Amino acid sequence: MAVRRRKGATAEHSFGYEHTNDHILEDNYGRRLGGSNSRNHTIGVPQGSVLGPLLFLIYVNDLPDVLASPCLLLADDLKSWSSNASALQMDVDAAKQWSLDWHLPLNDEKCVHVSFGGDSANAFVMHGEKGPENIMRIDAKKDLGIWVSSNLSFALHHEKSAQKAFAVLRMIRRTFSRITRMDFQILYGAYVRPLLEYANQVVYSGRTKDVTLIERVQRAATRMVAGLKSVDYETRLAMLDLFPLEYRRLRGDLILTYALFEQSLANRFFTVDPANTRRGHNDQKQEIREAFDLFDTEKTGSIDVRELKVAMRALGFDPPREEIRKLLSEFDCDSKGLLLFGRILYMVALKMQNRDAKDEILKAFRLFDDDGTGKISFKNLKRVAKELGETLTDEELQEMIDEADRNGDGEVDEEEFLRIMKKTNLY
């Protein structure tokens, strides 16, 4: 039937049609009942499932043509959506009629619908032999391996993934009386971690509760290795050559983002900022050059060594006198007591490489925490924004607090500030 219904295909598909037609309709087999004469019959069904997927795609390929709303078709999975409930109901009726026309009746009891973006009073019906029946509404549905909730939260997906991963861990524990490090790398990498990392770029929300839940699975898994039960989590990761799952998610995001930019697909997923205020290598080099030129008034390409401490301060460093002397002993090769720009550039690069990022961040934290409470409040953040001339709304300022606030107390402590600043790549 699939071949016959597509007989009117366009010329460019004629070879595929003829090939499939010959394979199915020209193959015969003999059948005999009792002592009767043998009679040939058309096979009709290809041997095994060589052509099964292809025939199914041919069969359902025209289903989107009967729908007015946008839809996606993957194998036997069809999704259609619309903000117009009436249009969506018409598509449901059209799909139902299509299934009856081609003798593929839908199972009305298994049909469900999900409403996204708030509570909706819209009801959808399926017209069957018993008359119209309401299509059951649900709050979450598994779609291509991902649990999608009506509130667009992936919390349920993370819960289901963790439950399944813990079940696999229990099965492994029952099966293996002793798990070596090599055994663990194979078992965990093949059976457990894929459950936690499936479609990470889609489902990862950054919610502390979800992150903790997923990481708990890896914590439990690493304790199963012989000799590591009483060792702390960070040491277990190092001994098993593993990374926290949050790091792996970040790495996956970066790889995907890089691939999108490399293939010129970024504009389909992001709004790229043309200003791009991120400081790169060339920006830092230009900043050093500007500080150098402040003291190289005669444009000779060198500055007096006596100006080195002041120049370093202009770049944001305050080295002690002993360190200045050490730097001069290593880099002042000019008998006239002059330092070339190249030497200054290298010296600053060493300082930037060796600077204590944590100390730098905590200095910035104290600029916000002017009242000495050990936390940055909404009031502190608003004061700094005003002093810097930033025109941010209260909602935007509160969003900044909420993003960094991991423990939910409404303020940002040193640990939370360190974490959020390290993620900005400024330190």
Alpha carbon of residue 349 to chain centroid: 34
Which DSSP string do the residues of 312-374 spell out, in sequence order?
Answer: HHHTT----HHHHHHHHHHH---TTSEEEHHHHHHHHHHHHHHS-HHHHHHHHHHHH-TT-SS
Residue 11 pLDDT > 60: no
Residue 111 pLDDT > 70: yes
Q: List 149's β-bridge partners, or say none.
A: 140
Structural domains of the chain sorted by starting position, each given as residue range(s) with its CATH number in brackets: 52-138 (no CATH), 152-250 (no CATH), 264-270+287-352 (1.10.238.10), 369-424 (1.10.238.10)
Number of H helices, E strands in the chain: 19, 14
Q: Report the mean per-residue pLDDT for the chain.
A: 76
- Residue bearing the bigger pLDDT, 255 or 426: 255
**What pLDDT is recorded for position 7?**
47
Q: Give per-residue pLDDT as tens, 173-201.
A: 999 999 999 999 999 999 999 999 999 98
**What pLDDT is recorded for position 50?**
65
Residue range 56-76: mean pLDDT, rounded: 83
Residues 56 and 51: their CA atoms lie apart, in Å, by 9
Residue 164 pLDDT > 60: yes
Tell me the whole-structure pTM to 2 decimals. 0.53
**What pLDDT is recorded for position 254?**
84
How many percent of the chain have pLDDT more than 70?
64
8 Å CB contact between 76 and 63 = no
Residue range 241-257: mean pLDDT, rounded: 87
Residues 219 and 69: their CA atoms lie apart, in Å, by 46
